[in-house]
Amino acid sequence: MKQQRKKTELLEILHDDDAIIVINKPAGYTLVPARGEGSTPLREEITKHIGKKSLLVHRLDRGTSGVCILAKTKDAQRELSGQFSTHTVHKEYHALVVGEIKDDVAAIDAPIGPDRKRPKFMAVNGRAAKDAVTEFRVLERYRGYTLVAVFPRTGRTHQIRVHLAHVGHPCAVDRNYGGRKRLLLSEMKESYKLKSGKPEKPLIERVTLHAAAITFKHPTGNEELTITAEHPKDFALAIKMMRRWRGENKG
């Protein structure tokens, strides 16, 4: 089984063999083409690399970065899709959220369905809500923020973002579910001075959510694989500045 880590300007490959390709999806890109479009820049880059069209197994929101699996054959797609539908795939996300979460470990059990007032979004107890469970573990606490490892046990649309917002700890940046539009260093560093005539560049201005790891059975060899993706630059910078200017709070 061939495995490699390769990175181009857009495409970071975490694993590549005859049946699957696993990438570290960059934030701001999607694998699902808009209506009327045949592909996306990221899918086209994958097609160039593998020499044929890839098949979707699961997806990440446009603003979310991290581990994403694509199949190279219909048999592999069918096998992996079955694992996702039976919840035997284990996913770990890292989320920077608003507020200092008190419990080190907790679970959120609340059904999710389309928002009755905002049809394009999801909500707890929305229309035709389905069972949804999310577990999380605190990694670090800062003044006013928390970094958590999140483990979705079901696969509802926007599940992590909706659940975190439901318990009062939305992703720090998430304009659709209660977070901010961006994080700025000037809001953390009291001595920050902006250069005259230049706008401040945000530390991060997309959803503060990263798919950090995924564990699944290989669709042909039945071998269990765990594949991880490092934090991208914007997410890592936000955490670095939190540690430096917000101070880790272990209380």
Q: Using one digit for the tens of pLDDT, what is the confidence trace for 33-70?
A: 877 667 899 999 999 999 999 999 999 999 999 999 99
Q: Is residue 96 part of a domain?
A: yes
Which pLDDT does position 191 carry in this prediction? 84
Q: Is residue 103 part of a domain?
A: yes
The DSSP secondary-structure symbol of 86 reads T
Q: What is the mean pLDDT of residues 141-149?
A: 97
Structural domain span for residue 81: 6-246
Q: Is residue 241 part of a domain?
A: yes
Structure confidence at residue 190 as a pLDDT band (50, 70, 90): confident
**Rounded distance between C-alpha atoms, residue 155 and residue 87, angstroms:** 8
Q: Is residue 201 part of a domain?
A: yes
Q: Is residue 56 part of a domain?
A: yes
Catalytic: 61? yes
Q: Is residue 32 part of a domain?
A: yes
Q: Is the pLDDT of residue 106 over 90?
A: yes
Which pLDDT does position 222 carry in this prediction? 81
**Rounded distance between C-alpha atoms, residue 181 and residue 205, angstroms:** 6
Structure confidence at residue 175 as a pLDDT band (50, 70, 90): very high
Q: Is residue 30 part of a domain?
A: yes
Question: For tokens 């229309």, what's the residue?
Answer: 127
What contacts 39, CB < 8 A, 6 or more positions away? 33, 47
Structure confidence at residue 123 as a pLDDT band (50, 70, 90): very high
Q: What is the mean pLDDT of residues 177-184?
A: 96
Residue 78 — φ and ψ, nearest 5°? Answer: -65, -45
Of 216, 205, 220, nearest to 76 by C-alpha is: 220
**Rounded distance between C-alpha atoms, residue 105 and residue 1, angstroms:** 37
Structure confidence at residue 247 as a pLDDT band (50, 70, 90): confident
Q: Is residue 1 part of a domain?
A: no
Lowest-confidence range among 83-92, 192-201, 223-232, 242-251? 242-251
**Rounded distance between C-alpha atoms, residue 45 and residue 167, angstroms:** 38
Token output for 74:
């219909």
Q: Is the pLDDT of residue 152 over 90?
A: yes
**Rounded distance between C-alpha atoms, residue 191 and residue 132, angstroms:** 44
Q: Number of C-alpha atoms within 13 angstroms, CB side, residue 138?
A: 19
Which pLDDT does position 35 carry in this prediction? 72
The structural domain count of the chain equals: 1
Question: For tokens 């994958």, what's the residue?
Answer: 46
The DSSP bridge partners found for residue 91 are: 214
The DSSP secondary-structure symbol of 176 reads T
> CATH number for the domain including 43?
3.30.2350.10
Active-site option among 16, 17, 61, 115: 61
DSSP for 108-147?
EE--EEE-SS-TTSEEET-TT-B--EEEEEEEEEETTEEE
**Rounded distance between C-alpha atoms, residue 124 and residue 98, angstroms:** 19
